[in-house]
A and B are shown apart, each in its own frame.
Chain A
Amino acid sequence: MKSGAWVLVSLCIGSAFSNAATAQSDSHAACDRHCLVGIANDYAAALVGHTPNKLAVAPGVKFTENLVPLKFGEQGVWKTVTGRRDFNIYAADVDTGNVVWIGIVKENDKAVMMAARLKVVGHRITELETLVGRSALTGAEKVEAPRPDFAEGVPQAERLDRQRLIAIADSNWDAMEQGNGRLAPYAQDCERHDNGEQTSKGSSPAEGAPDSDGSLDDRSCFGQMNSGRFNNGNKVYPRRIWAVDREHGLAVGLFTPNVPGNVREIKLRGGKMLAADASELLPFTIQQVEMFKIVRGKISKVEVVLGPRVPYGMRSPFDMKTLWEPRP
Chain B
Amino acid sequence: MHPRNFSLSVLVSSILGMAMSCCYAQSPTSAAKSDAAGHGACNYACLTGFTNRYMDALVHKDPSRIPLAPDVRFTENDVQMPIGEEGIWGTISTVSPNAMAVADTRTGNAAWFGTVEEHGEPAYYAMRLRIKGGMITEVETVVERKPGLPAPFGDPTKLVHDPAFSQVEQPQERRERERLRDIANGYFSTISRNDGEILTEFDPDCQRTENGISTTSGTFGSAALAQGCEAQFKLGYFHINKRVRQRHYPLIDTERGVVVATGFFDHDNAKDTYMTTDGKVQKTLLKFPNSLSLMEAFKIRNGKIYRVEAIFTYVPYYMHSPWPNPEDADE
| Residues of chain A having any CB pair with chain B under 8 Å | 65-70, 75-77, 79-80, 107-110, 112, 132, 134, 136-137, 176, 192, 194, 199-200, 216, 219, 224, 229-230, 234, 257, 260-262, 264, 277-283, 286, 288, 306, 308-315, 323, 327-328
| Interface range for B | 35 or more
Partner of B1, one of A68, A109, A286: A286
- Knowing A68-B318, A314-B79 are in contact, say whether A134-B288 is a contact too (CB < 8 A): yes
A75 touches B77 (CB 8 A): no
Q: What is the CB-to-nearest-CB distance from A287 to chain B, in angstroms, rounded to a whole number?
A: 9
Complex Cα distance, B118 from A103, in Å, reads: 37
B316 touches A283 (CB 8 A): no
A-B contact pairs, 20 of them (CB 8 A): A68-B319, A69-B318, A69-B320, A80-B270, A80-B288, A136-B148, A137-B4, A199-B2, A219-B3, A224-B3, A278-B10, A278-B11, A281-B118, A282-B12, A282-B118, A282-B121, A283-B86, A311-B77, A311-B79, A312-B79
Among A69, A224, A313, A328, find the residue whose CB has the most chain B CB atoms closer than 10 A: A313
A80 touches B316 (CB 8 A): no
B12 touches A257 (CB 8 A): no
Q: What is the CB-to-nearest-CB distance from B268 to chain A, in angstroms, rounded to a whole number?
A: 5
Partner of B91, one of A137, A283, A288, A313: A283
Interface assignment of B272: CB less than 8 Å from any CB of chain A = yes
A79 touches B11 (CB 8 A): no
- Knowing A280-B6, A281-B118, A313-B86 are in contact, say whether A288-B316 is a contact too (CB < 8 A): no
Partner of B289, one of A77, A194, A224: A77
Interface assignment of B173: CB less than 8 Å from any CB of chain A = no
Q: Which A residue sits closest to B268, measured CB to CB?
A: A79
Partner of A311, one of B8, B76, B91: B76
Partner of A314, one of B3, B6, B316: B316
Q: What is the CB-to-nearest-CB distance from B311 to chain A, in angstroms, rounded to a whole number?
A: 14
Q: List A contacts of B10 (CB < 8 A).
A: 278-279
Q: List B contacts of A288 (CB < 8 A).
A: 1
A264 touches B1 (CB 8 A): no
B287 touches A108 (CB 8 A): yes
Q: List B contacts of A306 (CB < 8 A).
A: 1, 5
Q: List B contacts of A76 (CB < 8 A).
A: 289, 317-318
Q: From DSSP, what is the main secondary structure of chain A's interface residues?
A: loop
- Knowing A277-B6, A283-B90 are in contact, say whether A132-B288 is a contact too (CB < 8 A): yes
Partner of B77, one of A260, A312, A323: A312
Q: What is the CB-to-nearest-CB distance from A327 to chain B, in angstroms, rounded to a whole number?
A: 7
Among A75, A109, A315, A323, find the residue whose CB has the most chain B CB atoms closer than 10 A: A75
Complex Cα distance, B290 from A68, in Å, reads: 11
B91 touches A281 (CB 8 A): yes
Interface assignment of B33: CB less than 8 Å from any CB of chain A = no
Q: List B contacts of A281 (CB < 8 A).
A: 12, 91, 118-119, 121
B288 touches A112 (CB 8 A): yes
Interface assignment of B13: CB less than 8 Å from any CB of chain A = no
Q: List A contacts of B6 (CB < 8 A).
A: 277, 279-280
- Knowing A230-B1, A260-B86, A280-B6 are in contact, say whether A310-B316 is a contact too (CB < 8 A): yes
- Knowing A76-B289, A80-B288, A283-B91 are in contact, say whether A312-B86 is a contact too (CB < 8 A): yes
- Knowing A192-B2, A279-B6, A313-B79 are in contact, say whether A79-B289 is a contact too (CB < 8 A): yes
A262 touches B318 (CB 8 A): no
Complex Cα distance, B5 from A280, in Å, reads: 10
Q: Which A residue sits closest to B291, measured CB to CB?
A: A68
Complex Cα distance, B87 from A280, in Å, reads: 13
Q: Which B residue sits closest to A262, measured CB to CB?
A: B90
- Knowing A112-B288, A281-B119 are in contact, say whether A257-B1 is a contact too (CB < 8 A): yes
C-beta contact mask, B261-272 vs A, less than 8 Å → 1, else 0? 000000011101
Q: How many A-B residue pairs have CB under 8 A?
A: 150
Interface assignment of B9: CB less than 8 Å from any CB of chain A = yes
Among B1, B119, B145, B148, find the residue whose CB has the most chain A CB atoms closer than 10 A: B1
Q: List A contacts of B31 (CB < 8 A).
A: none
Complex Cα distance, B316 from A65, in Å, reads: 9
Partner of A283, one of B3, B80, B88: B88
- Knowing A281-B119, A311-B77 are in contact, say whether A80-B289 is a contact too (CB < 8 A): yes
B9 touches A136 (CB 8 A): yes
Beyond the given pairs A68-B316, A75-B318, 12 more chain A to chain B contacts, judged by CB atoms under 8 angstroms and listed by A's residue number, are A75-B289, A79-B289, A80-B270, A108-B272, A108-B288, A134-B288, A260-B86, A261-B119, A262-B90, A281-B91, A281-B121, A311-B315
By Cβ-Cβ distance, the 9 closest A-B pairs, closest first, are A311-B77, A262-B90, A108-B287, A79-B270, A281-B119, A279-B11, A328-B331, A261-B91, A277-B6
Q: What is the CB-to-nearest-CB distance from A224 to chain B, in angstroms, rounded to a whole number?
A: 6
Complex Cα distance, B8 from A328, in Å, reads: 37
Complex Cα distance, B86 from A79, in Å, reads: 35
Interface assignment of B201: CB less than 8 Å from any CB of chain A = no
Q: Which B residue sits closest to A277, measured CB to CB?
A: B6
Complex Cα distance, B178 from A184, in Å, reads: 61
A110 touches B287 (CB 8 A): yes
Q: List B contacts of A68 (CB < 8 A).
A: 316-320
Q: Which B residue sits closest to A137, measured CB to CB?
A: B8
Q: Which A residue sits closest to B90, measured CB to CB?
A: A262
A107 touches B288 (CB 8 A): yes
Q: List A contacts of B322 (CB < 8 A).
A: 323
Q: Which B residue sits closest to A322, measured CB to CB?
A: B322
Q: List B contacts of A69 (CB < 8 A).
A: 318, 320
Q: List A contacts of B145 (CB < 8 A).
A: 282
Interface assignment of B72: CB less than 8 Å from any CB of chain A = no
B118 touches A312 (CB 8 A): no
